[in-house]
């Protein structure tokens, strides 16, 4: 089963568009009418949806790492620093994640991109 992705509000639309062209299941916070949710609410929302979230917000990453330490469940978070990767690198890595990993592998996991 492929991993479904969720894009945080500040992720460039080009990443979402390229992933969709490659057949990846992607939902954005804007499309989901969740753009104004607080990070903790959005992390919980993604858990309920069963989608791994991609963000470029370092505070969001820190929140997910706190949840890891506390044993609080979430579907997974992928962090891509805006200055350490290109749109193309993020697309390539996210496509690989979506197509070759399983949702259960991402439970309570925080990963940094690019690989």
**CA neighbor of 91 nearest in space, from 23, 40, 2, 43:** 23
pLDDT in tens, 89-98: 999 999 999 9
pLDDT at 115 over 80: no
Residue 18, domain extent: 5-113
Which tens digit of pLDDT belongs to each residue from 40-55? 999 999 999 999 999 9
**How much is the mean pLDDT over the chain?**
96
Q: What is the pTM of this model?
A: 0.94
Count: domains in the chain: 1
Instruction: Please give the C-alpha separations between residue 8 and each of 31, 36, 53, 71, 113, in angstroms, as whole numbers.
Output: 11, 10, 7, 23, 15
Q: What is the CATH number of the domain that holds 87?
A: 3.40.50
Q: What is the DSSP string of 13-31?
A: HHHHHHHHHTT--EEETTT
Region 28-35: mean pLDDT is 96
């Amino acid at each position: 089963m492929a991993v479904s992705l969720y894009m945080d509000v500040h992720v460039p639309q080009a990443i979402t568009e390229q992933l969709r062209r490659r057949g990846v299941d992607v939902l954005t916070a804007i499309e989901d009418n969740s753009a104004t949710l607080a990070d903790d609410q959005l992390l919980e929302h993604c858990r309920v949806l069963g989608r791994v979230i991609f963000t470029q917000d370092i505070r969001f990453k820190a929140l997910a790492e706190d949840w890891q330490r506390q044993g609080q469940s979430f579907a997974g978070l992928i962090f891509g620093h805006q200055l350490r990767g290109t749109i193309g690198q993020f697309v390539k890595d996210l496509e690989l994640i979506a197509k070759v990993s399983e949702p259960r592998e991402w439970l309570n996991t925080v990963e940094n991109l690019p690989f």
